[in-house]
Amino acid sequence: MPTSDEHSSDPHRPVLAIHGGCGAIPRASLTPEANAAARNALRRALETGYALLDAGGSAVDAVAAAVQVMEDDPVFNAGYGAALNRAGVHELDASLMDGATGRAGAIAGARRIRHPVRVARALAEVSDPLLLIGEAADAWAGEHGFEPVENAFFTTPARQEALQKMLEREQSGTTAGATEQEKHGTVGAVALDRHGHLAAATSTGGYTAKPAGRVGDSPIIGAGTWADDRTCAISGTGKGELFIRVAAGHDLHARMLYGGQTLAQAAEELIHGTLTALGGGGAGLCAVDRHGNVVLPYNTEGMYRGFITGDQLYVAIHED
């Protein structure tokens, strides 16, 4: 089972890392076309976010831009192409946190927001309210200039097929045999900018055939998303209920701040220790610390992931 991808960088040298979910297509089922589409999408997200960092932009700018690219790509389970819940409806979750100020914003169960990460960012700028749900999130977005879309905008044939398969699995009692790709997926980004500031953002459609109203870890600050300039920025992916139970994002930060662990040590123990021991679902994350070190650990067969610096661009799906 894979452990982690790691990268070390110089302090305050911009770096951006992303994940497109540990619900990756199994290696045996990954066609050359799907492989190319996923890798190209990861590259676009990395290059878009890094262009802002390279020009002196903030980590907040970079993570929001990178996640927005993935929200527009049906390869991933966020925004356009997000998973459908049991009722055949898209309910979208997202959050963003600024490591320099501690400000954060999040939405959960939104149905009409084209780019959830943009609204999460707008909420982070005020941080009061910090988290809005359902119709209130949709309404706030509309009141603040974000053009609404119909819920059907997010639907793709692939997601309709996935919902049908998952409902059939439930009827036949074979849900446990579903792949991580069939079940869930998330996108996220973390960044360190030239000013030494960190930020993290996460966006998801949740898991296929989830109960209406279910909220996972992605919009929960301290669970699926965390950023603090003293330690690290993290975005999680996997079984959200587990991330919430252990306050995964804050736990990684605390291991570093109070326990003196490195980013690699903390991420290893969180993913392959704490979360794996709980069972019941896969887990992965992307994280960067204040020194520019990157980790991309996961405990599933694969995770869409990558990072970019001034001289390196790396993308992967399985243990490459």
Q: Is the dihedral of CA 135, 141, 144, 150 positive or negative?
A: negative
129 upstream amide cis, omega within 30 of 0: yes
Share of the chain above pLDDT 70, in %: 95
Whether pLDDT at 298 is above 90: yes
Collect all residues with Cβ–Cβ distance below 8 Å to 179 and sequence separation of at least 6.
23, 26, 29
Residues 214-247: pLDDT tens digits?
A: 999 999 999 999 999 999 999 999 999 999 999 9
Whether pLDDT at 176 is above 80: no
Q: How confident is the model at residue 311 (pLDDT cuts 50, 70, 90)?
A: very high
Distance CA 120, CA 64 (A): 9
Count structural domains, the chain: 1
Whether pLDDT at 76 is above 70: yes
DSSP label of 279: -
Active-site residue, selected from the candidate residues 155, 186, 202, 225: 186
The answer to whether the beta carbons of residues 189 and 201 sit under 8 Å apart is yes
- CA nearest to 189, candidates 178, 175, 179, 203: 203
Backbone torsion region of residue 152, taken as left when φ is above 0, otherwise alpha when ψ lies between -120 and 50, otherwise beta:
alpha
The pLDDT of 241-254, averaged and rounded, is 98
The number of beta carbons lying within 10 Å of the beta carbon of residue 79 is: 29
Whether pLDDT at 10 is above 70: no
Residue 229 lies in a domain: yes
Whether pLDDT at 7 is above 80: no
Residue 123 lies in a domain: yes
> pLDDT value at position 163?
95
Express the helix, strand and coil content of the chain in percent, nearest 5 each: 35, 25, 40
- CA nearest to 301, candidates 280, 279, 317: 317
Residue 25's domain is classified under what CATH number?
A: 3.60.20.30
The pLDDT of 166-177, averaged and rounded, is 86
Q: Is there a catalytic annotation at residue 186?
A: yes
Mean pLDDT value across the chain: 94
Residues 103-156: pLDDT tens digits?
A: 999 999 999 999 999 999 999 999 999 999 999 999 999 999 999 999 999 999
Residue with tokens 């998973």: 83
Residue 132 lies in a domain: yes
Residues 78-91: pLDDT tens digits?
A: 999 999 999 999 99
Give the length of the chain: 320
> pLDDT value at position 1?
42
Residue 289 lies in a domain: yes
Query: 30 or 269, which is more confident?
Result: 269
| 93 phi, psi to nearest 5 deg | -125, 145
Query: 277 or 175, which is more confident?
Result: 277
Residue 1 lies in a domain: no
pTM over cut 0.85: yes
Q: Structural domain of residue 293, as residue ranges?
A: 6-316
> pLDDT value at position 2?
46
Residues 191-206: pLDDT tens digits?
A: 999 999 999 999 999 9
